[in-house]
Chain A
Amino acid sequence: MNATLDKTSFEPRLTAFVCNWCTYTGADLAGTSRLQMDANVRIVRLPCTGRIDPLFIVKAFERGADGVIVSGCHPADCHYTSGNYHARRRFAFFKELIEFLGLPEGRITFSWVSASEGQKWREVVNDATARVRALGPFSGYPGTELPAWPAAGAPAPNPAPGGGGER
């Protein structure tokens, strides 16, 4: 992974849960504008931040992510009118709980990035990556580490438990 990056430094893995209408499109705009950014973030596209269950974030950390980004439409901009308002309450509870449980601030980044904010998306990505890089790898569950990330694209050495059957 990230073979050409400086091998001595830690390269974090971040999962981003973003809404389809604002942040995903904003990230598209960053692309069309050729804004260069860190290559550590992998986007999972969802229709709305309202669809994002805190369990997604918990699961991402369980499965080896070092950081998570959650991003959607600014208040009042939600494609679905109010999905982001409900999400905001949910995230407020989640954020306070997970920090009370000892997850350091900075592992999870919440942001609003609109479809026109390609520049802001780059900042969110680079800043979140820098924060997580500074925090180091997430090793919250001692003794239960998953196998290291193998060479990209290799088949799963250890199929995820409970992943549900394919159809």
Chain B
Amino acid sequence: MKELRDLATKLLAEGTVNVVLGWEEGPRGVRPAFATDAAAAGRLVFDPRCTQNLVPYLSPRRTQVKKLGKAAVVVKGCDARAVAGLVRETQLAREDVVVIGVRCGGVIADPASPEPLSPATVADRCPGCNSREPKLADHTVGELPAAPPGESRRDVRIADLEARTADERWAFWQDELGRCVRCHACREACPMCFCERCVADKTQPQWVDSSPHPRGAFAWNVTRALHLAGRCVDCGECERACPVDIPLGLLNLKLARVASERFGYTATDDPAVPSPVGSFQKDDAQEFIL
């Protein structure tokens, strides 16, 4: 903690950056902090409650953050992939941000919860994590904690769904997506959703019905998942943001597996690795094409 605070203070004092994006203690657990002076830098924290990915604040569309000046951002290994994603897609110049990596032992699913990190509270993506130390970092702080506790449930859930019949899957997802109120919180929380105008807001023509109607909900969720195919950084923010608890992570994970199995791509914090969108191999598998 001290290491993080000292580094942030130093970066601000030197004038290397004007603001450090991190986490601080709030009235309900931790909250994002935008530290512009030594006092604020001295309040930064990092612990398993720092679930939120702060990289969405680096999107060029977040003009209020941009106005603060050059930023440093504190990232976990998963968040670092989002930085790489923004760099890869020319939303952020690598030299325009100072990346402070934190070594991570897993975060809890609900950062407002007072419960400590345990197999019961750990975020679903954390067990088995292989990027607990960001590679894309200018500074890395903290000791590497023990590996995240527990086991991931989502592989089991995907396997369970895949074992069902198409009609059962359809019913399952219609039920899940049927709760969608089209608030688009998933989009707002996503570091990789940075369009000037989302296709879901396009009205001429209106590809995605705007109403929270089974057709609109289906079209929106298909679109969201597809737009993130091969781009999703698996930070879990969409699912955490969803007010009606749609398991969006399952859709993301399913497509991440497709990217990995078909195109050999896994989300990485190396911006030089091309994403499967915009590239191809002449011998990509095509067993589904007659």
* Inter-chain contact B203/A85, CB cutoff 8 Å: no
Q: Is B114 an interface residue (CB 8 A)?
A: no
* A85-B282, A101-B170, A111-B289 known; A93-B206 Cβ under 8 A: no
Chain A residues lying within 8 Å of B185, measured Cβ to Cβ, are none
| B218 A58 Cβ-Cβ under 8 A | yes
> In the assembled complex, how far is the CB of residue B280 from the closest CB belonging to chain A, in whole angstroms?
4
- Alpha-carbon distance A85/B286, docked complex (angstroms): 10
Contacts A55-B223, A141-B218, A162-B206 given: A93-B169 contact, CB under 8 Å? no
Per a CB cutoff under 8 Å, which of A85, A92, A165 touches B285?
Answer: A92
Contact status A163-B205, CB under 8 Å: yes
Per DSSP, are chain B's interface residues mostly helix, strand or loop, or mixed?
helix
B282/A76 in contact, CB under 8 A = yes
Q: What residues of B have a CB within 8 angstroms of the CB of A53 in the complex?
A: 207
Q: Which of chain A's residues have a CB closer than 8 A to the CB of B230?
A: 93
Cβ-defined contact, B276 with A89, below 8 A: yes
Q: Does B219 contact A (CB under 8 A)?
A: yes
**A24: interface (CB < 8 Å):** no
Q: Mark A62-99, 1 if CB is under 8 A from B, else 0.
A: 10000000000001100000100110111111111111
Query: How many angstroms between the C-alpha atoms of A111 and B287 in the bound complex?
Result: 10
Is A32 interfacial (CB-CB < 8 Å)? no
Q: Give me 10 other A-B pairs in contact (C-beta within 8 A), A91-B288, A101-B170, A141-B214 excluded.
A: A58-B207, A76-B282, A88-B284, A100-B162, A102-B167, A124-B290, A140-B170, A144-B214, A162-B203, A164-B206
Q: 17 interchain pairs (CB within 8 A)? A: A58-B223, A62-B215, A89-B276, A92-B286, A97-B251, A100-B254, A102-B170, A102-B171, A104-B166, A104-B167, A111-B289, A112-B290, A124-B290, A127-B290, A140-B218, A142-B174, A162-B205
Binding site for A on B (CB under 8 A): 161-162, 166-174, 199, 203-209, 213-215, 218-219, 222-223, 225-226, 229-230, 251, 254-255, 258-259, 262-263, 276-278, 280, 282, 284-286, 288-290
**Residues of A with Cβ closer than 8 Å to B?**
53-55, 58-59, 62, 75-76, 82, 85-86, 88-105, 109-112, 124, 127, 140-144, 161-165
